[in-house]
């Protein structure tokens, strides 16, 4: 009976006339214009409007899981006046309590519709989150209306959060200009120095000869301070910043380019397998210490890292992996969740199929510079943009980080990854049961 009353309530607040885009609402003394949406009556969440929790004291749209583990649904409002192919910016603010995983359980959705009301294209899942100073969070996304779209249903949902309560406020959808391309010119190196006292110098010499002008970022392989020297890991290791980063930095300044390279790093008695990020001014802008260490490196005295940092460059957000990391799903997943648009991977050898999976499952560009593993630039669909098959050559390509890779049946998998990924359903490893 209570669920039926909820649907009855929704029907009583239906709008007299359909609203059009642009749309903005930041006061909810009642739920006028909004209706309840849920797949089934028995799993509909509890709804209300005008609660004291709002950003400006003018009411908000409330949802509660109401102790129902299957609770799924929320508020819906239909807008007309959408132009096919036009770009729109969605934004809404929420405040949640008792929600274990807001990224998955607090879900705005845009469901495009044709003039007759049928779905067009695939729904959008705005996921870009901005924590606000007052305890609220803003979710936003720029999206493009699909062909034949004439309207859109805005849905503000609570998903499988039996203890959860969420308030929605400041909801808007407005036309914006199409995003400008963010083109980044990438070069990745295929070179394996042998019987040398100066492998770093050989990499720099190749780049001096072959690097195209106006390249934005160069990727070098794993362990360039050791390869071809016969040294142990410890003997090849140096402090950071150190001699190798100084030489790479000087090259970066001369060519106005970012560089990623694998080196061995010493910090007192500890030796790490590290990837460094050098900026266009030649400064050490970041480092990543390899988390997954194979048997050979453990036996050689390498210590694993413990974090997956991302770094903001002047063209986008990048993360780094090294070699054995590609065998496991969580390094690339963590980098993508932290916003990485491109993963740069110095590598010795590894499974190319798994590398392709990392690009596809996380919907990121993946750039590899390898010895036994191939050297390539791969897009978020796992397609090769460029590949360097011969020693002493570069894989070169230009990637547009603003491009959306849409699947006709699945929609924007980058957005769905951010809203659907399960990190709560873990498995206890051996010894931790």
Confidence at residue 16, expressed as pLDDT on a 0 to 100 scale: 42
Confidence at residue 432, expressed as pLDDT on a 0 to 100 scale: 67
Among 365, 371, 329, CA closest to 344:
365
Confidence at residue 184, expressed as pLDDT on a 0 to 100 scale: 98
| 331 vs 337: CA distance, rounded Å | 10
Confidence at residue 66, expressed as pLDDT on a 0 to 100 scale: 96
Domains and their CATH numbers in the chain: 2-176 (2.60.120.260), 183-401 (3.60.110.10)
Given a contact cutoff of 8 angstroms between Cβ atoms, the answer to whether 144 and 85 are in contact is: yes
Confidence at residue 10, expressed as pLDDT on a 0 to 100 scale: 45
Among 168, 102, 184, 115, CA closest to 402:
184
Confidence at residue 324, expressed as pLDDT on a 0 to 100 scale: 98
- Please provide the DSSP assignment of 228-259 as one string: TT---HHHH-B-SS-HHHHHHHHHHHHHT-EE
Confidence at residue 9, expressed as pLDDT on a 0 to 100 scale: 46
| 389 vs 265: CA distance, rounded Å | 29
| 224 vs 37: CA distance, rounded Å | 57
Helix (H) or strand (E) holding 332: helix 330-337
- Please provide the DSSP assignment of 32-58 as one string: TT-EEE-SSGGGPPEEEE--S--SSSS
Distance between alpha carbon 278 and the CA centroid of its chain, in Å? 22
Confidence at residue 292, expressed as pLDDT on a 0 to 100 scale: 98
| 313 vs 302: CA distance, rounded Å | 29
Confidence at residue 11, expressed as pLDDT on a 0 to 100 scale: 39
Q: Where are the beta strands (DSSP E) in 208-338?
A: 217-219, 258-267, 270-278, 284-289, 310-312, 317-320
| 120 vs 107: CA distance, rounded Å | 20
Query: Hey, is 354 helix, strand or coil?
Result: helix
Residue ranges of the chain whose pLDDT lies below 50: 1-16
Q: How many CA atoms lie within 13 A of 431 on its CB side?
A: 0
Each residue's pLDDT tens digit, 371-387: 999 999 999 999 999 99
Given a contact cutoff of 8 angstroms between Cβ atoms, the answer to whether 414 and 402 are in contact is: no
Among 126, 63, 132, CA closest to 99:
63
| 331 vs 288: CA distance, rounded Å | 11
Helix (H) or strand (E) holding 143: strand 137-144
Confidence at residue 70, expressed as pLDDT on a 0 to 100 scale: 97
Rg (CA), the chain: 25
pTM of the model: 0.93
């Amino acid at each position: 009976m209570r669920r039926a009353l909820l649907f009855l309530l929704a029907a009583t607040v239906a709008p007299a006339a359909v609203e059009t885009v642009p749309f903005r609402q930041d006061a909810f003394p009642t739920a006028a214009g909004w209706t309840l949406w849920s797949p089934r009556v028995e799993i509909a969440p509890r709804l209300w409007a005008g609660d004291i929790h709002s950003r400006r004291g003018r009411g908000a749209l409330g949802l509660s899981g109401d102790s129902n583990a299957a609770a799924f649904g929320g508020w819906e409002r239909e807008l007309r006046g959408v132009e096919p192919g036009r770009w729109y910016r969605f934004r809404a603010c929420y405040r949640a309590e008792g929600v274990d995983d807001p990224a998955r359980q607090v879900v705005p959705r845009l469901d495009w519709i044709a003039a007759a009301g049928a779905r067009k294209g695939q729904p959008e899942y705005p996921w870009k989150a901005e924590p606000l100073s007052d305890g609220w969070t803003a979710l936003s996304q720029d999206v493009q209306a699909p062909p034949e779209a004439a309207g859109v249903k805005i849905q503000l949902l609570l998903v499988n959060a039996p203890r959860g309560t969420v308030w929605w406020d400041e909801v808007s959808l407005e036309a914006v200009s199409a995003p400008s391309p963010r083109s980044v010119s990438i070069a990745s190196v295929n070179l394996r120095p042998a019987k040398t006292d100066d492998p770093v110098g050989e990499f720099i010499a190749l780049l001096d000869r072959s690097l195209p002008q106006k390249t934005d970022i160069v990727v070098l392989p794993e362990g360039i301070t050791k390869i071809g020297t016969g040294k142990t890991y410890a003997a090849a290791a140096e402090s950071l910043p150190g001699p190798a980063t100084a030489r790479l930095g000087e090259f970066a300044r001369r060519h106005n380019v970012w560089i990623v390279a694998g080196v061995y790093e010493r910090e007192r008695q500890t030796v790490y397998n590290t990837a460094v990020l050098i900026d266009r001014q030649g400064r050490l802008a970041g480092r990543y210490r390899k988390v997954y260490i194979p048997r050979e490196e453990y036996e050689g005295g390498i210590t694993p890292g413990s974090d997956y940092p991302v770094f903001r460059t002047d063209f986008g957000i990048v993360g780094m992996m090294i070699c054995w990391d590609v065998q496991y799903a969580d390094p690339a997943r963590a980098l993508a969740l932290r916003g990485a648009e491109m993963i740069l991977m110095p590598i010795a050898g590894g499974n190319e199929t798994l590398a392709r999976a990392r690009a596809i499952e996380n919907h990121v560009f993946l750039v590899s510079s390898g010895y036994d593993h191939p050297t390539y630039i791969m897009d978020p669909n796992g397609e090769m943009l460029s590949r360097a098959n011969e020693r002493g050559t570069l894989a070169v390509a230009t990637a547009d980080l603003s491009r959306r890779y849409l699947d006709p049946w699945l929609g924007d998998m980058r957005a769905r990854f951010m809203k659907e990924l399960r990190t709560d359903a873990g498995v206890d490893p051996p010894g931790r049961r």
